[in-house]
Amino acid sequence: MTDLQYPIGRFTFPESTTGEQRKTWIREIARTPQELRAAVAGLTPEQLDTPYRPGGWTVRQVVHHVPDSHMNAVIRFKLALTEDQPTIKPYDEARWAALADAALPVDPSLDLLEALHFRWVRLLESMTEREYQRTFAHPESGVYRLDQWLAQYAWHGRHHVAHIKSLGYTVR
């Protein structure tokens, strides 16, 4: 692996999407909780506290980050579905990853991600083409359509699971 920060490559927002692409991304989002849980299954506390790259977060921080990030994504989806191009609230991921709860055992965050994705996937599956074209404004980076954000979060789950797998831990 040549790029430890972006093991599956950098994300780029699609200009347009198809219904088939969206179905694929929804399936990827649906699989993320199980894939993340499998990636950390049987890891020791020392392995969980190992950074996935020099200067990077620990595996434990990554596991806690994913539901934090995805909770924000679900809220952004719901805001865009219920308001006219809302401006969303950004958050400082690095500072969140340094909070005390990022040192807790990972099981509660894995359970939270599973429950969150259960609801999120049902919402995503119910959305119409027109709803996927709804937008929100990110005050730091611009206006995004929900179909673009769907692609972003399908990538995001794969991205962080790849970080953990890049360490090459094998469960004994």
Residue 42: inside a domain: yes
Residue 48: inside a domain: yes
The answer to whether residue 91 scores a pLDDT higher than 60 is yes
> What are the pLDDT digits (tens) for 105-160?
999 999 999 999 999 999 999 999 999 999 999 999 999 999 999 999 999 999 99
CATH number at residue 46: 1.20.120.450
Q: Find the domain containing 99 and state its range.
A: 19-165
Is pLDDT above 90 for 3? no
The whole-number pLDDT of residue 171 equals 56
Q: 7 in a domain, yes or no?
A: no
Rounded Cα gap, residues 15 and 26, in angstroms = 18
Domain count, the chain: 1
77 inside domain: yes
